[in-house]
Amino acid sequence: MSGATDHSRRRRPPKMYMVESEHKVQDQLEGAIRLPRGSLCQVQEGGRGEQLWVKVLDSGSVVKIDRQVLLEVPADLASILEPMSDPESRFQMFYKPQQLQRLANLPLGAELWVKLGQSEELAEGVLRYRGNLRSGSNAVYFGVQLKGRAMGKGNSNGSHKGQQFFQCPEACAVFVAANRLALPPRASSSGKEAAGYHSYSQTAMLPRTADSAPAVGQRVCFPMGEGLEAGEVRFCGLLPGKSTLGPFVGILLDNPVGSWDGWFKDEQLCSMPTPQHGLLLPVSKVSKVSPEPRTQHHPRPTPNLKHTRNPPAPLVNKPQAPPSPTTIDQSRCPPRPPGPLSPSRCRGEVGGDQEEQAGLEAGPEAGLEVGSMVEVNDPPLFGVIRWIGQISGIAEPVAGLELDQELTAATDGSYLGERHFRCPANKGLFVKLRNCRRDSRFPAPEAPTNQVERCNSIAFAEWGSERVDENTPPVYGEEARELYSGRKRGIQGHLNSCYLDASLFSLFSCCSSVDWVMLCPSGPDDGPHRSHAQDLLRCEIVNPLRRYGYVCASKTMALRRILEAESSDTGFTSQEKDPEEFLNNLFQLLKVESLLKIRSVNLQTQECHLYQLFPPAAPSPPSPTVASPPSSPPLLPPSPNARLRVASVQTLLETSFLHTGLKFAEAPSCLPLLMPRFGKEYKMFDAILPSLSLDITDLLDDTLRQCSICQSVAEWECAQCYEDRDITPGCLKQYCHICNTQVHTHRKRLSHKPVRVGVPGGPWAGPVQGARQQLALFAVTCIQTSHYVSFVKHGPLPTDWLLFDSMADREGGENGFNVPQVRMCPEVSRYLSLSVEELGRLDPASLPGPARRLLCDAHMCLYHSPQLSLYK
């Protein structure tokens, strides 16, 4: 019996989780890994404790993450959510379990709509297959056969990668994830039930016991003091990180008696005009309000017929039904104050998912949606669509219009006793959506431009740059100043490309230490992407930059397209990325040797391209949900007069290696270092001083090192002595045999545990002669409000520093162009020459703009050894 139990346990599928909000995890070798909200994670090895090892299904990375930022996903939902390539869409769908359940139970042969292509054009289709597309996968895809006008717009005949799942004509089938589907309302359902499907809140998943919970847009009331207050639901769902408290509602109050601005912790749940008009309450504290009854005995004035023209036949504007005896009487609640409607209240108020509803149901009708200006009838009546949805007894989508002028047959946004939107009396009209057409008084709106496709040599012709096939060395000194200074200099930015622009300019504009990655010959198994990317990098980006001082954004977009095609991490052409994400993917694409080889305590050598610095007090970064900042690392204590928490890169590298037991297996020719930086709310340090010269002699494995006291050959090193201020404070401590014995006989060091270091070549007598192994700083990449710029050392003088910004200016609007700019920054040399103590005593307000950016916003420091780079 126990054997059977063990067998069933072994076969139990691993738990699945979803990242609740955007989160960063730090990997000591790979650096920061960004997990967007909606990332799907599979627990590895049991999954117990406050931190879990999980596999991120979107990227294949295995990371350690805090349990508190994860939402558990039921296995049946996980299989439907997994195929969705966009994490944000997956997150939104996760909070629509009713819709997912309907899709999971939809019978084959059911009619539905499917979104096609990037334009998400809605097409009619029939469900022909539901299940996985390859063996061993749990991901559920939907096979749809297109019909009507959509025939011929598919990409399959019912087969996928050689396997036939159903039969249909060529180009009449698609296989899509659940978020690409839309279900037509059930004809047998009542109006309320049909609307309820669309009203399901996109911001939260209500428990099954909360079927009677109010939907976004509904009116509710609640007791306050001696009476009742009322308002409109703007949010309904679980609070981020507080799901155990049950569902809450955010209410836009009729009267200014509230105290909530629409935010919970760091996440906006809804929009409120003022905190006095907002209130957040548990669902159990509020009651739904019945629709406001139409008063029938007040005659309406007959409008002037010359203004109304020929009124269209409305659906059926019958007298509205009075409230049911089992519902709350509207008259008990305070009346809603009159006044103009805000744009947010006019977006359609039948449910919380109104934008999606408008997109799904208005799509087939010439792209009309909530907010579209339309006309009906002939001669026309003009108005704006305020609501789109289903009404009981009408088999097709209905539009609720707010007319420009009053009409006798119109209402105030109610239909058959149910309010769908609000507008002045005699201006609300309900018509079939297919009877609406765009307002002929205005030109049809242009379709939004695809900025990825727009970035080509034709659209960017006036901003183009030339190809240079000849290998061009970097410029330096005065020549670099003349080449790069000014407007339209450097690399042009486009569509969130600053991470790539700053990285490439830092690496290649004035330095040749990484040129070898452009010159390595291709192998027979490298494939076309590798050679194409190398050619783009060398002949379209680096060589033109060094010869003409400028590169067009269309050149870097071509490289971004290759990176996106080759990488499992989508978004390189349009989304924000970090420099480390770009460099890791670029070097992997080029299949070059790793920049760094680092040996751990167990003598295993690991290879990587960048190294993330970790202060000893924070070997793992804190969760963004933790409010308190991490304690300062035990570096040298700050001066009593210090105003800033400051650390140098030299100290951060030494402490990071010392407390993790790492050594360089070989001296690097180029060393990219990522600065410790934990989130938007706080940073580990107020400023980081980029050391102009980085001494790595004592961080090299299998090399002769000097005793810290007598300069003889070191045979021992002690991590605990690093913080001892009595012996060369702030330096690595290593000793010969005699000095090690003397130092550790002192009573305050008896608990230290020095370790023996190897001496290459056997015993060595006398002092160690030879130069120290040092690397020079040649660039610093900085980030401020998600925008990257770079500081580059362009000459031998201390003042030879320049600042590059790929998006310093802009010409034109949405379809305009960014203007890159390079300017000289000799003033930063003064601050780079200060000591940590001197910098810590400065008033932050006294720092000039470029110096503050360099010292307070450093993201990556780049060091190199020109001599070692020759061997590459």
Q: Is the pLDDT of residue 428 over 80?
A: yes
List phi, psi (to 5°) of 108.
-60, 140
Residues in the chain: 872
Q: How confident is the model at residue 763 (pLDDT cuts 50, 70, 90)?
A: low
Q: Is the pLDDT of residue 669 over 80?
A: yes
**pLDDT at position 630:** 35
**pLDDT at position 316:** 38
Per the DSSP assignment, residues forming a β-bridge with 486 are: 822
**pLDDT at position 871:** 59
Q: To the nearest whole number, what is the mean pLDDT of the chain?
A: 77
Q: Is the pLDDT of residue 1 over 60?
A: no
Given the residues 455, 498, 552, 707, the one annotated as active site: 498
DSSP 536: I
Say how far apart CA 668 and CA 774 lie, in whole Å: 10
Q: What is the DSSP string of 292-309?
A: PPPP-SSPPPPPPHHHH-
Lowest mean pLDDT of 469-483, 700-714, 852-866, name the range.
Answer: 700-714
Mean of pLDDT values over 388-402: 87
Biggest CA–CA distance in the chain, Å, is 112
Higher pLDDT, residue 19 or 207: 19
State the DSSP H helix or E strand holding residue 599, giving kind and residue range, or none if neither: strand 596-599
655 within 8 A of 618, measured Cβ to Cβ: no
Percent of the chain scored above 70 by pLDDT? 77
Q: Is the pLDDT of residue 641 over 70?
A: no
Alpha helices by DSSP H, listed for 144-300, are 191-199
Mean of pLDDT values over 423-442: 88
Q: How confident is the model at residue 514 (pLDDT cuts 50, 70, 90)?
A: very high
Mean of pLDDT values over 13-27: 83
**pLDDT at position 621:** 38
Q: How confident is the model at residue 801 (pLDDT cuts 50, 70, 90)?
A: very high
Cβ neighbors of 785 (< 8 A, separation 6 or more) are none
**pLDDT at position 347:** 30
Residue with tokens 């809140």: 201
Tens of pLDDT, residue by residue over 189-200, are 333 333 333 332
Q: Which two tokens stand for residue 60?
A: 């294949």
**pLDDT at position 344:** 30
**pLDDT at position 137:** 82
Say how far apart CA 367 and CA 284 lie, in whole Å: 40
Residue with tokens 């916003």: 857
Q: How confident is the model at residue 8 (pLDDT cuts 50, 70, 90)?
A: very low
List phi, psi (to 5°) of 174.
-140, 150
Q: Is the pLDDT of residue 136 over 80?
A: no
Q: How confident is the model at residue 730 (pLDDT cuts 50, 70, 90)?
A: low
Say how far apart CA 195 and CA 491 lie, in whole Å: 51
Say how far apart CA 18 and CA 42 lie, in whole Å: 9
Residue with tokens 């110096």: 851
Q: Is the pLDDT of residue 639 over 90?
A: no
Residue with tokens 């966009």: 86
| b (16+ CB within 10 A) / e for 238-261 | bbbbebeebbbbbbbbbeeebebb
**pLDDT at position 191:** 35
**pLDDT at position 444:** 66
Q: Is the pLDDT of residue 619 over 50?
A: no
Check if 861 is active-site. Answer: no
**pLDDT at position 32:** 77
Pick the closest to residue 181 from 421, 382, 360, 390 (CA basis).
360
Tens of pLDDT, residue by residue over 76-97, are 888 899 999 888 888 888 877 7
Pick the closest to residue 567 from 534, 595, 530 (CA basis).
530
62 within 8 A of 41, measured Cβ to Cβ: no
> Coil, strand or helix: which one is 372?
coil
Check if 498 is active-site. Answer: yes
Q: Is the pLDDT of residue 303 over 70?
A: no
Q: Is the pLDDT of residue 340 over 60?
A: no
Lowest mean pLDDT of 225-239, 477-491, 502-516, 676-690, name the range.
Answer: 676-690
CA distances in angstroms from 208 to 70, 246, 249, listed in the order given? 21, 11, 16
Percent of the chain scored above 90 by pLDDT? 27
Say how far apart CA 40 and CA 47 lie, in whole Å: 15
Higher pLDDT, residue 737 or 627: 737
**pLDDT at position 144:** 94
**pLDDT at position 861:** 97
**pLDDT at position 869:** 64
Higher pLDDT, residue 452 or 489: 489
According to DSSP, the β-strands at 646-648 and 687-689 are parallel
Mean of pLDDT values over 320-349: 32
Q: Is the pLDDT of residue 748 over 90?
A: no
Q: How confident is the model at residue 52 (pLDDT cuts 50, 70, 90)?
A: confident
Q: Is the pLDDT of residue 469 over 50?
A: yes
